[in-house]
């Protein structure tokens, strides 16, 4: 050590990471990340001063001890730069602008704090060690950095809340990327290997034409379904020339929405110089199929699949190589095409954890496709739509509301967030498509069946799917069917790799006209490409019924498929908005003829009724956002009320991938492990762990030790997180 200050111990090259080099590199990266939303200068200050606390002699001694293989006492450094900026900006200028600078630095190794009380620890630090400010000031004067003049644009409270969160994201990602370049330059170089959108658009065009020719050859002639799919595709390409904003993609089930929506997003991004496409999907079961479709087009390495989050210690300034490697394994969404869950997207937009917020700055200048948008929880709609509107108006985001059953976000009596917005239809002639694509006949079963009566009916069909409202109901029907070798089951208690195997077998049986009886919860009814001649759907929210019908006669091979709506005597259903939706569906089915389900206007009436009966900010999240109370916002905003944890199940090469992750955590290792993860409710996981059914491996990772059934998946768990929106 030669008296120079250092940021990190030697990496794979054997060289120490100089603090001045690190501060300059992070400042430049952070500025480039924040420039798309007009905050480059502020972000530069964040990067330049975030680690200035490392000039503390005790921290330099800590690094030396780490380099010698010792286990020293951790030495916090984040508060130094935060306190300096609070003093310089807040006290001198006597304004609130210090929060944009101090809060991200204070929490770049922890969580965004409550902005209302953050000043006190900074004041305590200044009073306790006034010489620290002098030392920092002297060091800053010697830094080869040209700190720009600062100016803060006054923003409304809710927009300021998101802007500060975005600055935090830019800092954390810039810090971790430069750290990765030091510790693991090989992995760092791999981040630049993504294909560009121009190349992907050409690949997509070629693949789309091949698909149309293949379908035409299979059916010997251009069917009505294929003609509508081509019309939808052509409308998507034509509408892509529009300017960034909010769009609706309304397509009847089976109308080619997944591929055509991607066509719009790709072409729209190119037309408007946007950087990436983010496809957010409500269920992990749909992600499996969507990712498979996209990778068939672009190749395995061109699509980032992200639904499970790496867990890292929440409040930890540990700079050891193992701790740093775990941080760097978190995802930052630097890919051109990302497929994720709505949970991952929105919980990150309202989170205060650095591993979740890291990726948010990359949402700017993107196309966000919200698939099956009707599944957004009504009681969270006000904060959810407010953030989406801000992304569109402040961050050059184009938003696509994609579904067959469009909600009326701009028409609710109490839902004013989207009021007055211009929402453009990507496929203006969608009503004609619904009329032409009536492939099923709905029937309401007059009497409520027992499980025995329902099982007897199901056995009467060679190919049939039954969708129930709760996992216990699905298990009850499966038990009643007994050892039927033609009975299959799908839920998120099967890992993704297992679900793909089951879906492939179900599809093979359907195509080869072999017996197959599929029993499922509602996770199978949206976005899963199945084509049954008969579908039974337990009474539920209206959009869920129609989505389930989309798995019936999907390719139009029959004159009419058969969809039976029934109410099982012993049936259960989730409470809250799901139950409200079910009651509204019962009312509309009673007051409208059954054929009204073919008319998209009934969904508008349905959602108006649902939204008018729900408190759209039930948890008062907007109040806490205005107060910059990030911990409280994060605690209150969850698309799934019950928190979940992930567990690795013994299926396929799961244990091999787990061993690789444990040996050397990395982003690639985590991506390879994702197909073998299952989500469980946290309270449930605690019980199962106590009873010895799973092993805690640390850092949020668990391994399943109990039975993993080839048909039912994890056996010890009575509940299924997929019963709620994912």
The model's pLDDT over 467-523, given as tens digits with 9 standing for 90+, comes to: 999 878 988 898 899 889 999 998 777 888 898 899 899 999 999 999 999 999 877
Residue with tokens 């603090």: 19
User: Which residues share a beta bridge with 60?
Assistant: none
User: What 3-state DSSP class applies to 532?
Assistant: strand
At 308 the pLDDT is 62
At 492 the pLDDT is 75
Tokens of 663: 């040996």
C-alpha span between 144 and 155 (Å, rounded):
32
C-alpha span between 371 and 342 (Å, rounded):
9
User: Which residues share a beta bridge with 278?
Assistant: 338, 368
Contact 688, 694 (CB under 8 A): yes
Render 347-383 in DSSP notation, one character per residue. HHHT--BHHHHTTGGGGTTEEEEEETGGGS-GGGHHH
pLDDT lower than 70: segments of the chain: 1-3, 90-96, 192, 215-216, 218-222, 285, 308-330, 412-415, 525-527, 641-643, 667, 699, 716-726
The 10 Å Cβ neighbour count of residue 215 is: 17
Which residues in 153-163 are b (16+ Cβ under 10 Å) and which e?
eeeeebbbbbb
Sign of the dihedral defined by the CA atoms of residues 254, 308, 374, 354, in that order? negative
C-alpha span between 50 and 640 (Å, rounded):
34
Q: Give 269-278 pLDDT, tens digit per residue.
A: 999 999 999 9
User: Which residues share a beta bridge with 562?
Assistant: 441, 534
At 84 the pLDDT is 92
At 719 the pLDDT is 43
Q: Considering the chain, tell me which residue range(s) the CATH 3.40.50.300 domain(s) occupy.
A: 197-306+327-435, 438-599
At 707 the pLDDT is 87
Sign of the dihedral defined by the CA atoms of residues 536, 538, 539, 543, in that order? negative
CATH domain 438-599 topology: Rossmann fold (3.40.50)
Helix or strand run (H / E) with residue 389: helix 381-394
What torsion, rounded to 10 degrees, do the Cα atoms 376, 642, 360, 99 define?
110
Render 221-239 in DSSP notation, one character per residue. S--HHHHHHHHHHHHHHHH
Contact 581, 541 (CB under 8 A): yes
Rg of the chain taking only CA atoms, in angstroms: 27
Query: Alpha helices of 185-252 — where are they, by DSSP H?
Result: 185-190, 197-219, 224-239
Strand-strand pairing, 398-403 and 246-250: parallel
Q: Considering the chain, tell me which residue range(s) the CATH 1.10.3210 domain(s) occupy.
A: 6-190
Write the CATH number of the domain with boundaries 6-190: 1.10.3210
User: Which residues share a beta bridge with 114?
Assistant: 629
At 96 the pLDDT is 67
Contact 288, 496 (CB under 8 A): yes
Work out the burial of residue 243: count CB atoms within 10 Å of its CB; fewer than 13 is exposed, 13-18 middle, 19 or more buried.
Answer: exposed
**Nearest Cα to Cα of residue 234 among 403, 426, 434, 438:** 426
To the nearest 10 degrees (0 to 180), the angle between helices 40-49 and 98-106 is 40
Q: Thinking of the domain 197-306+327-435, which architecture would CATH place it in?
A: 3-Layer(aba) Sandwich (3.40)
Residue with tokens 């251009």: 222
**How big, in percent rounded to 5, are the helix, strand and coil portions of the chain?**
50, 15, 35
User: What 3-state DSSP class applies to 115?
Assistant: coil
Beta strands in 379-455 (DSSP E): 398-403, 423-425, 440-444
Non-local (6+) Cβ contacts of 10 within 8 A are 16, 17, 67
At 148 the pLDDT is 87
Work out the burial of residue 596: count CB atoms within 10 Å of its CB; fewer than 13 is exposed, 13-18 middle, 19 or more buried.
Answer: middle
C-alpha span between 243 and 248 (Å, rounded):
14
């Amino acid at each position: 050590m030669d008296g120079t200050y250092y940021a990190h111990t030697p990496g794979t090259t054997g060289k120490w990471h100089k603090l001045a080099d690190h501060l300059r590199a992070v400042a430049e990266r952070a500025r480039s990340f924040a420039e798309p939303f007009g905050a480059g200068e502020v972000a530069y200050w964040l990067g330049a001063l975030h680690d200035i606390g490392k000039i503390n002699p005790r921290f330099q001694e800590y690094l030396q001890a780490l380099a010698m293989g010792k286990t020293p006492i951790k030495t916090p450094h984040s508060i130094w730069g935060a306190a300096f900026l609070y003093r310089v900006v807040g006290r001198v200028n006597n304004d609130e602008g210090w929060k944009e600078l101090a809060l991200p630095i204070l929490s770049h190794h922890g969580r965004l704090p409550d902005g209302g009380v953050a000043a006190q620890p900074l004041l305590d630090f200044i009073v306790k060690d006034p010489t620290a400010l002098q030392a920092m000031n002297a060091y800053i004067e010697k830094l080869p950095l040209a700190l720009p003049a600062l100016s803060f644009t006054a923003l409304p409270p809710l927009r300021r809340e998101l802007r500060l969160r975005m600055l935090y994201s830019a800092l954390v990602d810039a810090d971790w990327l430069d750290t990765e370049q030091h510790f693991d330059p090989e992995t760092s170089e791999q981040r630049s290997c993504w294909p560009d959108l121009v190349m992907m658009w050409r690949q997509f065009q070629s693949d789309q034409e091949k698909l149309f020719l293949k379908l035409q050859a299979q059916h010997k002639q251009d069917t009505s379904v294929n003609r509508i799919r081509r019309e939808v595709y052509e409308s998507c390409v034509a509408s892509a020339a529009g300017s960034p904003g909010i769009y609706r993609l309304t397509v009847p089930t089976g109308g080619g929405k997944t591929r055509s929506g991607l066509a719009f997003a790709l072409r729209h991004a190119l037309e408007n110089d946007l950087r990436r496409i983010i496809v957010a999907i409500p269920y992990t079961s749909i992600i499996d199929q969507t990712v498979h479709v996209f990778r068939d087009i672009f190749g395995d390495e061109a699509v980032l699949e992200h639904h499970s989050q790496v867990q890292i210690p929440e409040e930890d300034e540990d700079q050891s190589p193992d701790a740093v490697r775990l941080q760097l394994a978190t995802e930052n969404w630097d890919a051109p095409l990302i497929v994720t869950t709505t949970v991952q997207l929105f919980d990150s937009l309202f989170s205060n954890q650095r591993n979740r917020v890291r990726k948010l700055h990359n949402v700017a200048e993107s196309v966000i496709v919200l698939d099956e948008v009707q599944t957004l929880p009504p009681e969270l709609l006000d904060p959810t739509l407010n953030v989406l509107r801000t992304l569109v108006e402040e961050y050059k985001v184009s938003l696509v509301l994609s579904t067959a059953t469009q909600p009326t976000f701009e028409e609710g009596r109490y839902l004013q967030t989207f009021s007055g917005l211009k929402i453009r239809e990507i496929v203006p002639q969608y009503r004609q498509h619904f009329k032409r694509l009536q492939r099923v006949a709905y029937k309401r079963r007059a009497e409520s069946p027992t499980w025995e009566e329902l099982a007897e009916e199901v056995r009467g069909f060679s190919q049939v799917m039954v969708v129930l409202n709760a996992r216990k109901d699905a298990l009850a029907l499966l038990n009643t069917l007994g050892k039927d070798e033609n009975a299959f089951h799908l839920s998120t208690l099967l890992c993704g790799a297992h679900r793909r195997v089951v879906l492939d077998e179900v599809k093979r049986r359907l195509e080869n006209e072999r017996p197959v009886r599929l029993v499922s919860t509602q996770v199978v009814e949206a976005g899963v490409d199945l084509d049954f001649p008969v579908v039974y759907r337990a009474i539920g929210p209206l959009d869920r019924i129609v989505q389930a019908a989309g798995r019936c006669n999907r390719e139009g091979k029959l004159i009419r498929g058969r969809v039976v709506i029934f109410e099982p005597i012993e049936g259960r259903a989730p409470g809250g908005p799901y139950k409200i939706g079910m009651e509204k569906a019962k009312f509309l089915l009673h007051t409208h003829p059954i054929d009204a389900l073919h008319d998209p206007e009934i969904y508008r009436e349905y959602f108006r009724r649902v939204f008018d009966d729900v408190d759209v900010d039930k948890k008062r999240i907007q109040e806490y956002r205005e107060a910059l109370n990030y911990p409280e916002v994060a605690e209150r905003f969850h698309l799934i009320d019950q928190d979940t944890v992930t567990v690795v199940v013994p299926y396929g090469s799961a244990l091999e991938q787990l061993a690789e992750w444990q040996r050397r955590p990395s982003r690639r290792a985590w991506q390879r492990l994702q197909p073998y993860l299952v989500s469980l409710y946290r309270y449930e996981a605690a019980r199962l762990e106590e009873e010895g059914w799973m092993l805690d491996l640390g850092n949020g990772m668990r391994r399943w030790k109990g039975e993993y059934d080839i048909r039912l998946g994890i056996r010890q768990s009575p509940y299924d997180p997929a019963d709620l929106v994912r």
